Chains A and B, each alone.
Chain A
Amino acid sequence: MFDVFRISFLEYKKFFCKKSVYICLGLFFIFFLMSVDQLTKSNVSVNPVYLINMIFNGFMQFVLMFCASSLLPEEFRCGTSTFIFTSTKSRTQILLTKILFFTLYSITIGLMNFILITYYMTTKNLPIPFNNFAYMLVFYFIYSWFIGNYFLFFTVIFKSRAISFITGLFFLYFFSDCLLRLSQKMLVSTKILEFIPFYSVFQFLIGDSINANKIIGMLIGALIFFCLSAFIFEKQDL
Chain B
Amino acid sequence: MSEILKIAAVTKKFDKQFALSNVTFGLNEGEILGLVGPNGAGKTTLMKIIVGLTRNFEGKIICNVDRKIIAPAEKLFGCMIEAPKFYPYMSGYQNLKFFSSLNGKLNKKNLNDIVELMGLSNAVKKKVKTYSLGMKQRLGFAQALLNNPKILILDEPTNGLDPNGINEIRKYLQKIAFENKVSILISSHTLSEIEKICQRAVVLKKGKAIEIIDMQEKTYEDTIFAFETNETDEFLALLKAKNIVIEDVGEGIIKIRLPKEKLSSFIKDVVLKDINFTSVYEVRKSLEDKFLDLTGGNKIV
A residues at B contact (CB < 8 Å): 3, 6-7, 10, 14, 17-19, 78-80, 82-89, 234-238
Contacts and interface: CB of A to CB of B under 8 A. Distances in A.
A88 B89 contact: no
A19 B88 CA distance: 11
A227 B272 CA distance: 84
B81 A82 contact: yes
A36 B88 CA distance: 36
A235 B55 contact: yes
Contacts of B48: 237-238
B102 A87 contact: yes
A30 B198 CA distance: 61
B107 interface: no
Contacts of A6: 101
Interface in B51-104: 51-56, 75-77, 79, 81-90, 94, 98-99, 101-104
A76 to B, nearest CB: 10
A86 B89 CA distance: 22
Given A80-B86, A82-B53, A17 B94 contact: yes
A87 B98 contact: no
Contacts of B90: 14, 17
Contact of A14 (B85, B87, B103): B87
B160 to A, nearest CB: 15
Given A80-B87, A82-B79, A87-B99, 9 more contacts: A14-B90, A14-B98, A79-B85, A82-B53, A82-B85, A87-B103, A89-B102, A236-B55, A238-B54
Interface in B36-62: 48, 51-56
Interface of B: 48, 51-56, 75-77, 79, 81-90, 94, 98-99, 101-104, 143
Given A10-B101, A87-B99, A89-B102, A78 B88 contact: yes
Q: Which 3 A-B pairs have the closest CB atoms?
A: A79-B85, A87-B102, A237-B54
A235 B104 contact: no
B98 A86 contact: no
A14 B88 CA distance: 11
B85 A78 contact: yes
Nearest to B153: A86
B85 A7 contact: no
Nearest to B79: A86
Nearest to B82: A82
A84 B102 contact: yes
B157 to A, nearest CB: 14
A10 B96 CA distance: 12
Contacts of B53: 82, 85-86, 237-238
B85 to A, nearest CB: 3
